[in-house]
Amino acid sequence: MDELNNVTSSISEQASQVIGEASSHIGYLQSIGLAKSWWWPPDLVQHMLETVHVYTGLPWWGTICTVTIAVRLLMFPLYVKSSDTIARNSHIKPELDAINSKLMSSTELSEGQKYALQRKKLLSDHGIKNRWLAAPMLQVPVALGFFSGLRAMANHPVDGFVNQGVAWFTDLSQADPYLGLQVITAAVLISFTRLGGETGAQQFSPAMKRFFTILPLVSIPATMNLSAAVVLYFAVNGMFSVLQTLTLRNKWVRKKLNIADVVKHPQTSDGPPKGIIETFRENMAKAREQAQRRQAMQDKEKELQELSKELKKNSKIKIVHKSDFNRSN
């Protein structure tokens, strides 16, 4: 009986070794139906994870952390440019707001073009290229790639996910039993919002701060069934965001990276900053009002054109008096 147990144990050890060797080679993920392409974000993330896992020998939890940090470091220059653009915009905010207000209230095309050119010149004179404001949006496909890629790896599960976790979440293919990763993620998301977003220069209104405080708290029960691998990515990504925010708020760093300082203007008499929904409604109302004014101008112009045509038509009609008619006879 002991010999049978020894044989069974030996077979199990050999099987584990074979599986371990298979997962430590490039191409393993593709052999199990993952990492099928190099252009789809989830597949690309899986390729990166496999490459780091194979060539560094790190366990899967360390691989996820390493790849997450590496990708965020590659994106850091984009956040630097975005932070600088936000700061430069703050220097000309009063002038820019005045031009934008005139642009929104303009009713004629030529007038709107004039204000648009003024805004373009103002931005150009201060070296501002607002396209950099959209740079952080690149984080959206990256995050979706990590989410989908790690979820697929956990659902399989990839060899090593079951026992290559760390601390209290040793099984990366299962949900965190204590919700510790979810709590960490919520805490860091609230922190980086309070610190001024990932660029360290964003100025959120009180309503937006409340929204971004409640949202992470709601995400705790919403993500409680996600695998530890996915939530580990969220936690590490969030911690990097806080560190990046603190870095970009540091005056010495901003000076070395040639990032402009943020200028805070005094609060206007219009009251405190408006929330997202209120601002959206106000902009929609202004857009409708502007459209109505333009339509009224077009209707009036059309009416004047028709009146002009009628006057021209009437001017061609020759009026014959009765005396002239009798004289001709």
pLDDT in tens, 186-235: 998 888 777 766 555 555 667 777 777 788 888 889 889 999 999 999 99
pLDDT, position 305: 79
Q: Are 75 and 220 members of one domain?
A: yes
- Say if 197 falls within a structural domain: yes
Instruction: Return the number of other C-beta atoms located less than 10 Å from residue 323's C-beta.
Output: 8
- Say if 174 falls within a structural domain: yes
Q: Are 182 and 302 members of one domain?
A: no
Burial 312-321 (b: 16+ CB within 10 A, else e): eeeeeeeeee
Average pLDDT, the chain: 80
Q: Are 157 and 297 members of one domain?
A: no
- Say if 156 falls within a structural domain: yes
Q: Are 192 and 73 members of one domain?
A: yes
Average pLDDT score over residue span 10-35 = 66
Q: How far apart are CA 230 and CA 148, in angstroms?
A: 9
- Say if 115 falls within a structural domain: no
Query: Looking at per-residue confidence, does 42 or 204 come out higher?
Result: 42
pLDDT digits (tens, 9 = 90+) for 95-134: 888 887 777 776 666 777 787 888 888 888 888 888 888 8
pLDDT, position 152: 96
Q: Are 204 and 147 members of one domain?
A: yes
Q: Are 200 and 299 members of one domain?
A: no
pTM of the model as a whole: 0.72
- Closest of 213, 210, 205, 214 to residue 274, by C-alpha: 205
Query: Looking at per-residue confidence, does 215 or 4 come out higher?
Result: 215
Q: Are 177 and 285 members of one domain?
A: no
Q: Are 220 and 297 members of one domain?
A: no
- Closest of 176, 170, 209, 207 to residue 190, by C-alpha: 209
Q: Are 143 and 221 members of one domain?
A: yes
Q: Are 237 and 299 members of one domain?
A: no
Q: Is the pLDDT of residue 275 over 50?
A: no
List, in order, residues 6 or more apart from 91 with CB less than 8 Å away. 126, 260, 263
- Say if 3 falls within a structural domain: no
- Closest of 197, 200, 256 to residue 87, by C-alpha: 200
Which domain covers residue 141, as residue numbers? 20-92+128-256
- The answer to whether the beta carbons of residues 207 and 193 sit under 8 Å apart is no
- The answer to whether the beta carbons of residues 86 and 200 sit under 8 Å apart is no
- Say if 267 falls within a structural domain: no
Average pLDDT score over residue span 29-55 = 94
Query: Looking at per-residue confidence, does 270 or 59 come out higher?
Result: 59
Counted domains in the chain: 2
Q: Are 283 and 210 members of one domain?
A: no
- Say if 111 falls within a structural domain: no
Write out the two tokens for 168: 């209290």
Average pLDDT score over residue span 71-92 = 90
Q: Are 280 and 191 members of one domain?
A: no
- Say if 196 falls within a structural domain: yes
